[in-house]
Amino acid sequence: MGARAPLKTPGEIVTDYSYRFCPSCGHGLEGHERAGQQRRICPSCEWVHWDNPLPVLAGLIEIEGQILLARNASWPEKMFALITGFMERGESPEAGMARELKEETNLDVVRMGLIGVYEFTRKNEVIIAYHVEATGQVQLSEELVEYRLVAPHRLRPWRQGTGQAMADWMRARQLPVEFIDLPSSVRQMVEPAASGE
Ligand SMILES: [Zn+2]
C-alpha cells in the first residue's frame, strides 16, 4: 500500500493527497526524486505523478457598470465571489471563461480582457483572471444560490486567490483597495475567490 502524504502545517503547499496507487496499472506509488523534486512514481510502469498546478479561470463579471458576485451553495451567507471554473480539454482560456459564465449565470460575453495570472500555491492552482463585460438575464446554476451586483468602489478583495486579481483591477481604475481578512475556517471553503462588500 502506498503511504499517504503526511499532513502539512497551515501555509505549506497542500497537494498530493490524491494518488496512492498508480492510475495506470494500480500498483502502489513510491516516493522518488525525479527532475529535481520528490515525486510519486509507479515502480511497475514508471508512471509519474508530476502534480503540476491546475489552471483555474476567474471572471470579474461586469453588467451595466456593476460587478456580479455569487455565493456558492456550500458557503457561509455573506461570502460572495467571482465566477470561477476549470477548463475543458481542447478549450482556450477565453472559451472556457465564456462557457463557465454561461453555465453558471446564463450571461453572454460582450468583451473580455485579461486582468492577470496569479499564483495560488496553497491549492496548487494558477488563476487566470478576466474582466468580462457581460449581457443577459442572470439565471444561476444549481451550484450558486444567490448573487449580488456591487458597485466597483464597494468591492472588498481578500489577499489571496482571486482577491489579487480584483485588487489589480481596482487599482487600474484608481479605486481605493480595502482588503478584508477572513477567518481561516471560511478561507478554506471559499478560496480562490473574493468577496463583495
Ligand atoms: Zn503503474
Q: What is the mean pLDDT of each run of 10 residues along the chain (197 residues)?
A: 39 56 95 92 95 96 97 86 96 98 98 97 94 98 95 93 96 95 65 45
Q: What would the pLDDT profile of 27-47 be if each residue is shown by its tens digit?
A: 999 999 999 999 999 999 999
Sequence-distant (6+) residues with CB within 8 A of 93 are 55, 57, 87, 128, 130
- Which alpha helices (H) appear in the chain, and where do they start and end? 93-105, 163-172, 184-190
Same domain, 21 and 118: no
Cβ neighbour number for residue 153 with a 10 Å cutoff:
11
Q: What span, in angstroms and rounded, lies between the C-alpha atoms of 132 and 128?
A: 12
Same domain, 91 and 47: no
Same domain, 21 and 92: no
Looking at the structure of the chain, the number of domains it has is 2
Same domain, 35 and 93: no
Q: What span, in angstroms and rounded, lies between the C-alpha atoms of 15 and 109?
A: 33
Domain that holds residue 149: 54-196
Distance 25 CA to ligand 1 centre (A): 4
Radius of gyration of the chain (CA): 19
- Can you say whether the dihedral through the CA atoms of 181, 175, 120, 147 is positive or negative? positive
Same domain, 94 and 1: no
CB under 5 Å of ion ligand 1: residues: 22, 24-25, 27, 42, 44-45, 47
Distance 32 CA to ligand 1 centre (A): 14
Distance 81 CA to ligand 1 centre (A): 39
Distance 39 CA to ligand 1 centre (A): 14
Q: What is the pTM of this model?
A: 0.83
Same domain, 59 and 47: no
CATH at 140: 3.90.79.10
In the block, cell 487599482 appears at 171
